[in-house]
Structure 1
Amino acid sequence: MIKRSPRIHVAADLRVGGDVVLPEGPARHVARVLRLGEGAALRLFDGAGLEASAVLVEASRKRVVARIESVAPGTAESPLAVHLGQAISKGDRMDYAIQKAVELGVAAITPLYTEHGDVRLKGEREAKKLAHWQAVAASACEQCGRAVVPAVNPPLALAEWLAGRDETLRLVLHPDSAGALAQQSAPASVALLIGPEGGLAEGEVVAAREAGFAPLCLGPRILRTETAPVVALSLLQYRFGDLDGNG
């Protein structure tokens, strides 16, 4: 089994020959958890599309510095741009939905307040939760090989999110529909709406339909709110993206 160099997200200017001082969290992980020393190889990515090979030139408890040896564009981005509108769910379920959506190549995620949703965030609590979700997305990129960290936008009311949609293909998951991806031609972009654990209210489904969203059923079983985006994104990426190995 080939041992892979650790991948670290750093919001830094990646230039050959330049030194990057790792932020506190990644530095602690490299020096204290992985126990890497000077001369160890690692991969850095800037979250905007660049990937770098680097070597540690300093690895102390107080400071970890990596020197860039080569820089190249990342190669793990999907050709299909999917904007996921995900109803906010409690605890680890939302983290799971974001993590797996990032692994499956999503381009952007907007957490949504819906009628049947049981989470309401305000002020500082919303800001902290957003920062946490953005960290989940960055961590997922470290694991899956993406060099672009998809945007996790501030939470919106569903109606506000619907009003801003202009994607070529717009889909809302609905168990009582007969929509099928096989009937769709390849889209330039996709908006995917996932409701909360209790499902979207009928008025919300109507509003989505009026905003150009086609209903999509994923089969005879009711999926949890954190499972639905995994299945839907897998199908979209297989049908229109790069999961078939031809992307």
Structure 2
Amino acid sequence: MRIIRIYYPFELSTDSYVTLTDDATNHLANVLRAKTGQAVVLFNGDGNEYSAQLSEVAKRKVVAHVDSKISISIESPLSIHLGQGISRGDRMEWVIQKSIELGVTEITPLITERCGVKLGKERWSKKHEQWQKLAIAACEQCGRNVLPILHAPSSFADWVNLSTNQVRLTLHPRADKAFRHVPMPPAGARLLIGPEGGFSEQEIYQTEQNGFQTIQLGPRVLRTETAAIAAISALQAIHGDL
């Protein structure tokens, strides 16, 4: 039976007792029906795993006893910062989940001209909290002990204007360069993916003015969620750990 992995957002130390978060408590006690004495793995983003046993399981409180710390890193040697144009429905959630499984280091949801999601500041904040929970769940599932940085939604213009030592890449089916022809600096890659309707002409101009190279993944036009995952996979296969 696979041991359950749980994120704990505070300091962890061996031979200590910790009360798990409300979300973890609900998942363990009410969804998985975990029992006292069950083995779990905790992580808090410091790069380590902590083996533990559940010492108390109740509907609204779960306590774990931390046994030992294990240094395990499955992080990719390639740093990828994904700038993803926000799309409607579950496409954005799908991209966040799968890109984390594939090892991205940072994700910034981008509000573009053709963004199909129109929210106020407070609702964007709640959406970010929802995406953060999804990111944690993805790390729990795939075994990562370091949480990727999930930035708050940003305007397209602000993000493309940011200074970086990473190579700047965006996709275009008629580009004349493939991923394998891109030299990769030590800082890694900044990957820009458009929303469902693509970028406007003004946005394309902005990428060109800020040093983004157009890269192709073949002659076909990919859906936004397909493009993100295919591009990350290509980068990891050529420069990372796939």
TM category, shorter: over 0.9
Provide the residue aligned with 1:220 in structure 2.
Answer: 219
Note the C-alpha offset of 1:178: 1.7
Alpha-carbon distance between aligned partners in 2 of 1:158 and 1:33, rounded to the nearest angstrom: 39
Distance across 2 between alignment mates of 1:95 and 1:118:
15
CA RMSD of aligned residues (A): 1.2
Return the alpha-carbon distance in structure 2 between the equivalents of residues 80 and 106 of structure 1: 8
Could you tell me whether the CA contact under 8 Å between 2:47 and 2:146 is conserved in 1?
A: yes
The equivalent of 2:180 in structure 1 is: 182
Q: Gaps (5+ residues) in structure 1?
A: none
Q: Measure how far apart 1:84 and its partner are.
A: 0.4
**How many residues are aligned here?**
241
**Secondary structure of residue in 2 paired with 1:227:** helix
Letter in structure 1 aligned against 2:173: P
| Letter paired with 2:195 | P
C-alpha deviation, 1:91, in angstroms: 2.0
TM-score (norm 1): 0.94
* 1:121 Cα deviation after fit: 2.3
Q: Aligned equivalents of 1:101 and 1:214: distance in 2?
A: 21
Q: Which AA in structure 2 matches 1:222?
A: V
Say if 1:14 and 1:50, in contact at 8 Å, map to a contact too.
no
The code of the aligned residue for 1:207 comes to Q
Note the alpha carbon deviations across 1:32-64, whole angstroms, 9 max, x for none. Answer: 222221111001110232211111111122311
**Secondary structure of 1:203 counterpart:** helix
Structure 1 residue matching 2:10: 3-state secondary structure = coil
Output aligned runs, 1:1-247, within 5 Å: 3-188=1-186, 189-243=188-242
Structure 2 residue matching 1:226: 3-state secondary structure: helix
State the secondary structure of the residue aligned to 2:132.
Answer: helix
Give the Cα separation in 1 of the matches to 2:146 and 2:217: 28
Shift of 1:202: 2.1
Q: Residue 195 of structure 1 aligns to which amino acid in structure 2?
A: G
Identity over aligned pairs, percent: 46
Aligned equivalents of 1:182, 1:25: Cα separation in 2: 42
Aligned-partner residue type, residue 220 of structure 2: R
Q: What SS does the corresponding residue of 2:225 show, helix, strand or coil?
A: coil
Distance in structure 1 (CA, Å) of the matches to 2:40 and 2:235? 33
| TM-superposed deviation, 1:186 | 3.2
Unaligned runs of 5+ in 2: none
Once the two structures are superposed, residues 105-157 of structure 1 have per-residue CA deviations (whole angstroms, 9 ceiling, x without a partner) of 00010011111221222221011001011111111001100011111111111
Deviations 1:47-87 (A, max 9, x none): 23221111111112231101111113331111111000000
SS in 1 for 2:34: coil
| CA-to-aligned-CA distance 1:215-244 (integer Å, 9 cap, x gap) | 01111221111111100000000100001x
2:174–2:219 Cα contact (<8 Å) kept? no
Contact 2:179–2:216 under 8 Å retained in 1? no
Q: Which one-letter code corresponds to 1:31 in the other structure?
A: A
Q: Quick check: 1:165–1:191 contact (8 Å CA) kept in 2?
A: no
